[in-house]
Chain A
Amino acid sequence: MKRHLISAADLSRDDALLILDTAEELAQMADRPIRKLPTLRGRTVVNLFYEDSTRTRISFEAAAKRLSADVINFSAKGSSVAKGESLKDTALTLEAMGADAVVIRHQASGAPHRLAGWVRGSVINAGDGTHEHPTQALLDAFTMRRRLGRLDGLRVTIVGDVLHSRVARSNVLLLRTLGAEVTLVAPPTLLPVAVSAWPCEVAYDLSAALPKADVVMMLRVQAERMNAAYFPTVREYSRRYGLDAARMALLPEHAIVMHPGPMNRGVEIAAEVADSHRSTIVEQVANGVSVRMAVLYLMLGGADPGGGAPTGVAAGAAGAISPESTGALEVAR
């Protein structure tokens, strides 16, 4: 049964557009004197963050609070988890607390899948290992649509460590669903062995790919990868795959530059690029709150989908949201 958001593949085109349109409406709130809606009053959202991530956690926290939900923050440091409590026992504790939704970030791919089998509430994946980060992809798509006015036929180039990037995976899936064309650019060592089966193009030459890009998304590259021989030196990586001012000049006039953060200034992206008018890095953060508000509202704002025992997640088929023609949204159970 489906009431979780674990992979971008869980969203149909209608689902995704509904989230983006809802986020568009909710974005207006930022300009109001009272940045609060009563909609999720009485609902409890737990932020279960096993990995340090101030940015994403605060984003989810702000989103939940603006909808008047109660927020409980659970970070791994200094908690029972650090003392070796298992994911399952933590889940049972959250159950006992009556969490309506659990937002989980975890270093193990698949942790949200496991969690979904142990809690009654909705599970929202805030990043699991190297698997997926669906709300990041949603806020990226939202940002692209706002800046460029469309998603259909948009040419998006994603550059960097695709092999280890959950942001890349979610973006490839979601952008394809929304009708955009994705090209991945990376050294061969940082691409999955079976990437040719993915719904996107692959290229090794960044400079050649840029003139055709409406959007360039730079992924963070960890210097430690050098020690596992993914690339010889940071310098060589930067020279071949970094977005500096010279490469930025190859972009079409309207093209934008995105980065999920945090950035390695000088490695994958030059400071002047990050600070240029093309860069959406700062607005991605604000958009993140609106998008996450939309997700929380659509998952928790309506009727409880049946309640009852934890049902887990069917293989490959986690929470799907499908709108009906009346505009009402069914969170399919």
Chain B
Amino acid sequence: MSGSQSWLIRGAQVCAGGIADLILTDGLIQEAGPGLSSAGAQVLDAVGLIALPGLVDLHTHLREPGREDAETVSTGTQAAALGGFTAVHAMANTNPVADTAGVVEQIWRLGGQAGHCDVQPVGAVTSGLEGRQLAELGAMADSAARVRVFSDDGRCVSDAVLMRRALEYVKAFGGVIAQHAQETRLTDGAQMNEGEMSGLLGLTGWPAVAEEAIIARDCLLAAHVGSALHVCHVSTAGSVEIIRWAKSKGWRVTAEVTPHHLLLTDELAASYDPVYKVNPPLRTAADVEALRAGLADGIIDCVATDHAPHPVEDKETEWQVAAFGMTGLETALRVVHAAMVETGLLDWAGVANRMSARPAAIGQLDQHGRPLEAGSPANLVLYDPAARSVVDPAQHASRSRNTPFTGMELPGQVHATFLRGEPTVLDGKLAR
């Protein structure tokens, strides 16, 4: 489309590469290198900023349709853009559930209309998330939304036969089943990680084995039928070991970890503030270390936010009745910066890989996660690593305020986000 504004981004540090300029024209990176110029282009001074490919989230809850009091596609994608994301996968546990072509197309369209980032709907594995019957996975794959990732997230596909069938079925169109690993019977009424803290606090425990046992089973199933498995929100050291083993066998297993599981432990539950209540629960320091190491060496493929907005009345209660979940889109990159970059475990090229390239590959989004070079789609984020500020959810674009990082000082700030060459965020604020 000629007539749209060109951009000249000057002096950015391009991931692990050196300082370069980028010219964005017609939705693509036209040129990348030092000392560029472009007539008619709007100039953005990016000295001191790091340029990363636009972040891709494999796991977001946009809540629309059904829970618009917590979030809408519009507000959620605004939050995503402010967090540096150019694409998010919207999980299917909406109301109605995204288990038909009709609902996934609706969500896809809403994302397009809002225009803050690309929205790739995730289709449910089972009808109504009830875990009894496969949803029309083929119809969703063929729809305009072109669904490739399927998940009952929020619930576990616990029936082993049903999980096997789902893994087999999606081979026909190159889909992947993303499992929310939670043995339901072992986590009946569970509130927080089962360990020392849960015993002291009198909260029903959620044992690590409830996650690990399902992951082990599903890795074996995926290997047996020759399909691809993606493991959502890995949270324990044991899970990392199982995935390491599965990958060593050459099995097609991928995994994600949330930013909060890279930074927070179950000791925070001592305040009984449900802002720390999440599924899977925060675990111990040993688990956090294992997850960081796993992400650093690639056993865990990517970071996914599991952004789970909830209205105040669902979180400002006693722990037992509070909803599970934390928001995460607007803080993700900063938390990864603190947990992985500042600790020396990952460099910015690694961040680009774990937060853009790998999730885009798993989600099969060929327009995202591409290296910042000439010819790539102009989906990128400019990030100021030297900034520091205290997290204040009142400043967030998300409709919900349930972030566990409230009051915490985190490094960095997203300066600008570009979606196909158009800015969605400029100067740290929404561009439209």
CB nearest to B194 among chain A residues? A193
Q: Is A109 in contact with B270, judged by CB distance below 8 angstroms?
A: no
CB distance from A92 to the nearest CB of B (A): 11
Q: Are B272 and A110 interface neighbours, CB within 8 A?
A: yes
Are B195 and A109 in contact, CB atoms less than 8 angstroms apart? no
Question: A313 touching B271 by the CB < 8 A rule?
Answer: yes
Which residues on B sit within 8 Å (CB–CB) of A108? Answer: 318-321
| Cβ contacts under 8 Å, B195 to chain A | 193-194
Residue of A111, A195, A228 with most chain B CB atoms under a 10 A cut-off: A111
Task: Give the residue of B207, B271, B273, B319 whose beta carbon is less than 8 angstroms from that of A109.
Answer: B319
Interchain CB contact under 8 A, A128 and B202: yes
If A166-B202, A169-B202, A193-B195 touch, does A88 touch B317 (CB 8 Å cutoff)?
A: yes
With an 8 A cutoff between CB atoms, is A3 at the interface?
Answer: no
B198 interface contact, C-beta 8 A: yes
Query: Contact between A109 and B317 (Cβ–Cβ < 8 Å)?
Result: no
Give, as a whole number of angstroms, the nearest-CB distance from A131 to chain B: 3
Q: Is the CB of B201 within 8 A of A131?
A: yes
Asked whether any CB of chain B lies closer than 8 Å to the CB of A130, the reply is yes
Instruction: Convert A70-99 into 0s and 1s, putting 1 for each residue whose CB lies closer than 8 angstroms to a CB of B.
Output: 000000000000000011100000000000
Confirm or deny: B205 has a beta carbon within 8 angstroms of a beta carbon on chain A: yes
Contact present for B271 and A106 (CB under 8 Å):
no
Q: Which of B196, B313, B318, B319 contacts A194 (CB 8 A)?
A: B196
- Chain A residue contacts of B316, Cβ below 8 A: 86, 88
CB < 8 Å neighbour of B198 from A86, A132, A192, A313: A192
Q: Tell me which residues from 180 to 228 in chain B have a Cβ below 8 Å from any Cβ of chain A.
A: 188, 194-196, 198-205, 207
Report the count of interface residues on A (CB-CB < 8 A). Answer: 28
Residue in A88, A106, A166 whose Cβ sees the most chain B Cβ within 10 Å: A88
Instruction: Tell me the nearest residue of chain A to B319, going by C-beta.
Output: A110
Q: Are the C-beta atoms of A315 and B270 separated by less than 8 Å?
A: yes
Given A194-B195, A197-B196, A315-B270; A131-B202 close (CB under 8 Å): yes
Structural contact, A109 and B320, CB atoms closer than 8 A: yes
Does B272 lie within 8 Å of A114, measured CB to CB? yes
Q: Which residues from chain A contact B321 at a C-beta distance below 8 Å?
A: 108
Q: Which residue of B lies closest to A131 (CB)?
A: B202
Residue pair B317, A110 in contact (C-beta under 8 Å): no
Neighbouring B residues of A86 by C-beta, 8 Å? 313, 316-317
Q: Which residues of B contact A130 (CB under 8 A)?
A: 202-204
Interface string of A251-262 (1 = CB under 8 A from B): 000000000000
The A154-192 residues at the B interface (CB cut-off 8 A) are 166, 169, 192
Shortest CB-to-CB span from A184 to chain B, Å, is 12
Query: Nearest chain A CB to B32's CB is how many angstroms away?
Result: 49
Nearest-Cβ distance from residue A107 to partner chain B, whole angstroms: 7
A-to-B contact residues, CB < 8 Å: 86-88, 106-111, 113-114, 128-132, 166, 169, 192-195, 197-198, 228, 313, 315-316
Taking Cβ atoms with an 8 Å cutoff, the residues of B that contact A are 188, 194-196, 198-205, 207, 267-268, 270-273, 313, 316-321
Closest 8 CB pairs of A and B: A110-B272, A131-B202, A192-B199, A108-B318, A109-B202, A108-B320, A130-B202, A194-B196
